[in-house]
Chains A and B, each alone.
Chain A
Amino acid sequence: MSHETQDDAAPSAITDATLVPEQWPVHAGLIGSILLMASPLLLAFVMSTQTVPEVYDITNIGAGSDGLANYLEVLTTYEMASYMLNSLVMSVVVTVGKIAVSLLAAVALVFYRFRFKNAIFFLILFTLMVPVPVRIVPLYELMAAWGWSNTLLALTGPYLASATAVFLLRQHFLSIPDSLVESAKLDGVGPLRFLWDVLIPMSRGMISGLGVITFIYAWNQYLWPLIVISDQNKQVVQVGMKYLQSVGNAGQTDWGLIMAGAVLTLLPPLVALIAFRGPLLETFGLAE
């Protein structure tokens, strides 16, 4: 019986996968555009394996003779490993902290009745118009006044409140039927238990999607860490990349090293993207 089913299914699968000759130009076009879009990345990867002279030889776009030596050097001699660790700590703290704060804010905005609720919500939305770079000077003064400069607190604190995350979670919570909340109320289930046992499991997709976006956003921060962190060993990977620029002999920048650093820097967000692509799409689908 199962044998027959396989026989039935197999031909149609083959037909689907077979290239129809008329469609070759389409496929060629698609492959071409993908190559075009990916070319900077591919080039970076190629250059990361080349020695300095090979990089400066423009026509040489084959794999270089350094192999993975640049990667090893970047990770050990130039301490990319420790920058990456710093970035990882920062990104995880920002992601967890931002989601925790936003969850609580969204719960308050959706499930509690208090005065000026809408005004408060719009005030939160207004902060979207004041991104971190605009706030850098006052924020820096604040950090200095509190003695937070050059600490993880300064690195992560300003990122914890997010209007976007509050907004997305609020919209998601609004789509949860009132009767679920009321049923919990009748059972005497407290707000925190409701958040933990009902809201979070029901918002798993939204939360992981937000988590990926936040993680990548935090990982890519450059300006604020550059300003607020003064010790090189506490610095994050994006700023660490800048340090690589000054490495090199006789005014020749060692692009091989920089590209190796760049490829390494790309990897964690890439892994996060691939691992959580499902919920990420769900988040954007709902956010439309």
Chain B
Amino acid sequence: MTGITTTDLVKRFDDVTAVDGVDLNVRDGEFLVLVGPSGCGKSTTLRLLAGLESPTEGAVEIADSDVTDTPPGDRDVAMVFQSYALYPHMTARENMTFGVRTATDFGSGEVDDRVAEAAAILDIEDLLDRTPAALSGGEQQRVAIGRALVRDPEVFLMDEPLSNLDAKLRVQMRAELAELHAELQTTTLYVTHDQVEAMTLGDRVAVMYDGELQQVAPPQRLYDAPDTRFVAEFIGSPGMNTVEATLERRGDDAVATWGSNQLTLPSAGRVADRVDGRAVLGVRPEDLRQERDGPLRMEITVTEPLGDSLLTRGTVGGAEMEVSLPARSPVGVGDAVSLAADPERLHLFDPESGEALYHSSTELDATEAEPLLADGSPERR
């Protein structure tokens, strides 16, 4: 088992708490993506795992052994940096072999074989004798990944490795990274601020905010049943609309009201009893549609044609909302449109703690234990 486990990991810099009690469990062979906005502590967490920072409190285990006080060189992890961290005076080949001899006990013949193998996988065989200055950004990133491959470590740590690439190359490298992981099955922790990258690459995605883990779940579950208001607003492009509303029980159901807008939440009656009349309603832009007599009324302020859809921003009962309309919808700035929401895809969050109270989808329930874990182990949150 070469998983990573952190227990109550805390890192404080003077009076700033960058990482605040993180319990993370990366399983053997898993590709786990740690995602969050800038300054949420995700990079610090990665650096704590690498040993480049030492934790204020808590412990780090890699491959079932406690490495909290082990120097980075003895942890058998390889890291890929956002800035590539290639030595400018060495050729690609020298860059790939430089750390190997100290980090591993490969003989020089074996090192050569491994470089050739990694170069073949990454398609950089022709570039091995060039220095980084003679390589493009994407090629440099391949060499940096190749350097990690040659090491054959227990764990790959990747710190925003695609952030410096242009959009098209990023998509291509993303697919290649996914292929690479499918082939090698090396335990990987990948840090990014880009939620699209997180969703596409991760077996599971850990969302971090303000030094704390918000939710760790497979990408689809993260999207369908966010545990907190933050996750709801962060995941998705654009994120979920949230609005404070009054909540009233009506039979088994509940009705959320803000301004002159009303939405019925099926089977939310019991939730309405619990929350004292107020809750945060969440609905994704994709789950709203234009409907002649729909219960919501939106004043359009901005339209953004995305080609496959028309992203429309406006106010609904005084709250900013976004809705994804079909492409070429005949609406313009200043228009008022009526909207309806998919009753199967509504969410409620606690207005104070931001915790999820309710997901209307019948397959999901916020209070239910994670049903999607293969090994049935309880999810750390």
Chain A residues with CB under 8 Å of chain B are 177, 179-180, 182-190, 193, 197-198, 201-202, 204
Contacts and interface: CB of A to CB of B under 8 A. Distances in A.
Interface string B73-115: 1110111011111011110000000111011000000000000
A186 B147 CA distance: 12
B50 interface: yes
Contacts of A183: 79, 81, 85, 99
Nearest to A198: B87
13 contacts: A183-B85, A185-B51, A186-B75, A186-B77, A187-B100, A187-B102, A187-B103, A188-B72, A189-B98, A190-B102, A198-B89, A201-B87, A201-B90
Interface of B: 50-52, 71-75, 77-79, 81-85, 87-90, 98-100, 102-103, 151
B52 A185 contact: yes
B72 A186 contact: yes
* Closest A-B pairs by Cβ, 4 of them: A187-B99, A188-B73, A179-B85, A183-B85
Nearest to B157: A186
Nearest to B99: A187
B102 to A, nearest CB: 5
B73 A185 contact: yes
Contacts of B99: 183-184, 186-189
Contacts of B51: 185-186
B321 to A, nearest CB: 41
Interface secondary structure of A, over-half rule = helix
A171 B51 CA distance: 26
Given A186-B72, A187-B102, A190-B102, A202 B50 contact: no
A193 B73 CA distance: 14
Contact of A186 (B73, B82, B90): B73
A189 B73 contact: yes
Residue in A182, A184, A186 with the greatest tally of chain B CB atoms within 10 Å: A186
B147 to A, nearest CB: 8
Contact of B73 (A180, A187, A197): A187
B154 to A, nearest CB: 12
A186 B99 CA distance: 8
A179 B102 contact: no
B102 A188 contact: yes
A80 B92 CA distance: 51
Contact of B74 (A182, A188, A197, A204): A188
B103 A182 contact: no
Contacts of B82: 179
Given A182-B50, A186-B72, 15 more contacts: A182-B52, A182-B85, A185-B51, A185-B73, A186-B73, A187-B151, A188-B73, A188-B103, A189-B102, A197-B98, A198-B87, A198-B89, A201-B89, A202-B88, A202-B89
Nearest to A204: B89
Residue in B75, B98, B103, B151 with the greatest tally of chain A CB atoms within 10 Å: B98
Given A188-B99, A197-B98, A180 B78 contact: no
Nearest to A181: B85
Contacts of B81: 179, 182-183
A186 B87 contact: no
A197 B269 CA distance: 69
B91 to A, nearest CB: 12
B149 to A, nearest CB: 13
A177 B103 contact: no
B83 A179 contact: yes
Nearest to A203: B89
Contacts of A177: 83, 85
B355 to A, nearest CB: 37
Nearest to A197: B98
Contacts of A187: 73, 98-100, 102-103, 151
Nearest to B94: A197
Nearest to A187: B99
Nearest to A185: B72
Contacts of A198: 87, 89
A28 to B, nearest CB: 44
Contacts of B103: 186-188
A95 B320 CA distance: 69
A203 to B, nearest CB: 10
A182 B79 contact: yes
A264 B337 CA distance: 93
A184 B51 CA distance: 12
Given A179-B83, A202-B88, A186 B50 contact: yes
Contacts of B87: 180, 198, 201-202
A121 to B, nearest CB: 21
A185 B98 CA distance: 12
A202 to B, nearest CB: 6
A188 B151 CA distance: 12
A218 B50 CA distance: 46
Contacts of A193: 102
Contacts of B74: 188
A183 B103 CA distance: 11
Residue in A183, A185, A190, A201 with the greatest tally of chain B CB atoms within 10 Å: A183
Nearest to B151: A187
A216 B174 CA distance: 55
Nearest to B102: A188
B85 A180 contact: yes
Contacts of B85: 177, 179-180, 182-183
Contacts of B100: 187
